[in-house]
Amino acid sequence: MKKDLGLLAVAVALVCACASPSSPTAATTTATTTPNPTPSAAPAIYQRFQSAVTVTVAGTQVVLRSAGLPDHKSPYWGAGNALYEAPLPGMMLAPNTIASQNLTLRVPIVPTAATPSDTPLGPIGMAVNGVAIFNQYAAGRSPLGAEILSFDRYNGHPQQTGQYHYHVEPLWLTSNNGASALIGVLLDGFPVYGPRDTDGSAPSGLDSCNGHTHATPDVPLGIYHYHVTAAPPYISGCYKGAPGSLG
């Protein structure tokens, strides 16, 4: 009886997980992409973003737009979809399916360090494949806990509105592009890299926001950047710079 109640509690947590203010459009059946125009005055780092992301410039901001759809397989596509795959053994499937989003991030062209600030629930950044990046918390800013059991094999899942997202290392990107590859950017404009530095070593001297400053392949002169890690906060414990906005 106690075991049954425990499983019920986990299932309820998965239904309520990852609250987000974003509003989805109608669900789609396959991952779609849109052409990526040549960015005008956008830093070279945005050339690393895939065609699923539209990159434009508006004043002092880079505007990133995507449908937020993963370009890889997941049980959350739903049976019958070309990208559907069966859940992994031991995975506790959440009752949500992937839906297309109107995901728009406006980030500073020139990110500037500021007093660190908390990241909110919902999207805090965008991965290079157009998928939303979330922080280290479940709904109510509680630890991820049992919610981790609902992650697919690439460490993502959708919340109630169907917004697929990563809370932790997006294994699809690091397995294909390398452990030191660019993962994406956060709303403050600072980039996120994989769990290794370019020389293959583990990042050292990470601050409370999960980042440090030195040269990267994209910014040879050096820039503050976050690294994904195996322990909380996983991607970022706070915004190092002044964040832009959603929408």
Banded model confidence at residue 139, pLDDT cuts 50, 70, 90: confident
Closest by CA to 122, choosing from 187, 56, 27, 46, is 187
For residue 60, the number of C-alpha atoms closer than 13 Å in the C-beta half-sphere is 8
The whole-angstrom separation of Cα 76 and Cα 98 is: 6
pLDDT (tens digit, 9 = 90+) per residue, 25-82? 333 333 333 334 444 589 999 999 999 999 999 999 999 999 999 999 999 999 999 9
The whole-angstrom separation of Cα 12 and Cα 142 is: 14
Q: Does position 176 have pLDDT exceeding 80, yes or no? A: yes
Closest by CA to 10, choosing from 183, 138, 110, 168, is 138
Comparing 140 with 31, the larger pLDDT belongs to: 140
The whole-angstrom separation of Cα 152 and Cα 171 is: 10
Closest by CA to 169, choosing from 160, 158, 159, 180, is 180
Q: Which domain holds residue 44?
A: 2-246
**Counted domains in the chain:** 1
- Report residue 112 as tokens: 């500037």
The whole-angstrom separation of Cα 46 and Cα 54 is: 10
Banded model confidence at residue 13, pLDDT cuts 50, 70, 90: very low
The whole-angstrom separation of Cα 179 and Cα 65 is: 25
pLDDT (tens digit, 9 = 90+) per residue, 191-201? 999 999 999 99
* pLDDT at position 37: 40
Contact 87, 75 (CB under 8 A): yes
* pLDDT at position 19: 57
H or E element at residue 4: helix 2-16
The average confidence (pLDDT) of the chain is 87
The letter for the amino acid at 237 is: G
Contact 229, 196 (CB under 8 A): no
pLDDT (tens digit, 9 = 90+) per residue, 77-109? 999 999 999 999 999 999 999 999 999 999 999
Which residue(s) pair with 165 in the sheet? Answer: 132, 157
Phi, psi of 82 (to 5 degrees): -65, -25
In the predicted model, what is the mean pLDDT of residues 135-146? 93
Burial 24-33 (b: 16+ CB within 10 A, else e): beeeeeebeb
